[in-house]
Amino acid sequence: MTADLGKRVFRERLGFAERIIQVSGMKTRTLVSGYADLTVGRITVAQLHPQSREKGIGLALRSASEDRPETQFARIEVSELNGYEGGPNRSWLDGGGNDFNLAKGPAIAFLIPDAVDGLSEDSPEWRDILGLLEHAETLA
């Protein structure tokens, strides 16, 4: 993530977003329309969205399949994610797009509260994030 673009998109949550990206071990690109793609090869398997109203970061996974790990994080509608309305990302979130297998269905999103940023990476919350990201990698 380029620092300037990342700062414009994530603002005060830039460090939090970078921490999630580091834990994921995935490649990323930040888009000026308001989110960051997490990729495996050329396939976007997850996205990070700064969430101002809900106070946190939205983590969207490429598939709403039921085989994902359990998580303590609240599910949020993809239509509530920053960059959904009027953005080019809407197709990906709704289950379309060039790198999306339509059989996988629409994306699913969870709210990662800002408070998680202050926790250690061996906390249950960070283990949940890692589990979701590891699951996302299998969706490539």
Q: Where are the beta strands (DSSP E) in the chain?
A: 27-31, 35-40, 43-51, 56-61, 75-76, 108-113
| Highest mean pLDDT out of 80-89, 99-108, 119-128 | 119-128
Its pTM stands at 0.89
Domain boundaries, the chain: 3-14+23-137
Q: At residue 100, does pLDDT exceed 70?
A: no
The number of angstroms, rounded, from the C-alpha of 132 to the middle of its chain's C-alpha atoms is 10
pLDDT attached to residue 103: 52
Q: How far is Cα 58 from Cα 76, in angstroms, rounded to an integer?
A: 8
- Per-residue confidence band for 94, with pLDDT thresholds at 50, 70 and 90: confident
